[in-house]
Amino acid sequence: MRILVILTKGEYGQRHLANIQQHKPESWEIQTWQAAEHYPLIIDYPEDHLPEAFAPADLILSFAENKSVAELLPDIAQMTGAKGVIVAVDDENWLPRGLARQLKGWLERINVACATPKPLCSLTPMDFKITRKERQTYDCSQISEFARYFGQPRLEIEVDPDTRKIQSVRVDVDAVCGCARHVASGIIGLSVDDVEEKAGLLHHHYPCLASMVKLNDYNHDTLMHESAHILVDNIREQIKPFQQTRYFRPGKLSE
């Protein structure tokens, strides 16, 4: 699969790109394009802000920290022949809800599928989050292929039933930024009673670069915390059979 990665200046996109390049299937070909930092308030002529040509691509990944780049994506899709576009929404300023709906409509008119996972690590081979309680489906083999390797984290955890400690962790699906792989390496050897708290700390200390702005459609929580919930929930469901319920009996008060 041929992938065009769109970046802006900063650590966010570069870290995603580095993780993809390190752990992608050998058959994937990666090319990059660095968008400008500033654009006019209204882009009347997208071609004025694009190179003369792009190499052919099957999928476009936009890690741009600039909402104006969304207006360029339909033209980039036509220039590359891409059939799918993924736009990371780890900060709502990069792709506000109204613009996300517009972008999807623009791309649908040229038969290009669009996924706008919010946060990016909610992407699965069939859907993605747009609010805490709402997921949106899509039908695109190129986006699904990417999500089988990078997206909503899926760890395969083996627990020693005698010691109740994490024996091994296999990363079936990594977060695009590599956070899930980092957490997986840090929880081996931990007791199942301690692993959820430790996994949350590892996630935050990686650090997760999703926004810390509280959002109404995430119950006044942040996308960084939502990202942690997604990862810890995957861990919790696997270790639950090995956890012990603790009961506390109040003692007698001394006189």
How much is the pTM? 0.92
Tokens standing for residue 102: 């517009």
pLDDT in the model for residue 42: 81
For residue 217, pLDDT beyond 70: yes
Nearest 5 degrees, angle CA 48-CA 52-CA 53? 130
Give backbone dihedrals phi and psi of 95, rounded to 5 degrees, phi first. -155, 85
**Domains within the chain, CATH numbers bracketed:** 2-147 (3.40.50.720), 154-242 (no CATH)
First-last CA distance in the chain: 74
The overall average pLDDT reported for the chain is 94
Q: How confident is the model at residue 101 (pLDDT cuts 50, 70, 90)?
A: very high
Q: Within its chain, how far is the Cα of 92 from the centroid?
A: 14
Residue % of the chain over a pLDDT of 70: 96
Average pLDDT over residues 52-60: 97
pLDDT in the model for residue 251: 58
Give the residue with greater pLDDT, 140 vs 207.
140
Q: How confident is the model at residue 252 (pLDDT cuts 50, 70, 90)?
A: low
pLDDT in the model for residue 255: 46
- Write out pLDDT tens, residues 11-23: 999 999 999 999 9
DSSP string covering 56-74:
--SEEEE--S-GGGGGGHH
For residue 248, pLDDT beyond 70: no
For residue 253, pLDDT beyond 80: no
Amino acid at 51: P
Give the residue with greater pLDDT, 78 vs 255.
78
For residue 247, pLDDT beyond 60: no
pLDDT in the model for residue 55: 97
For residue 18, the tally of other CB atoms under 10 A from its CB is: 12
Average pLDDT over residues 129-140: 96
For residue 194, pLDDT beyond 50: yes
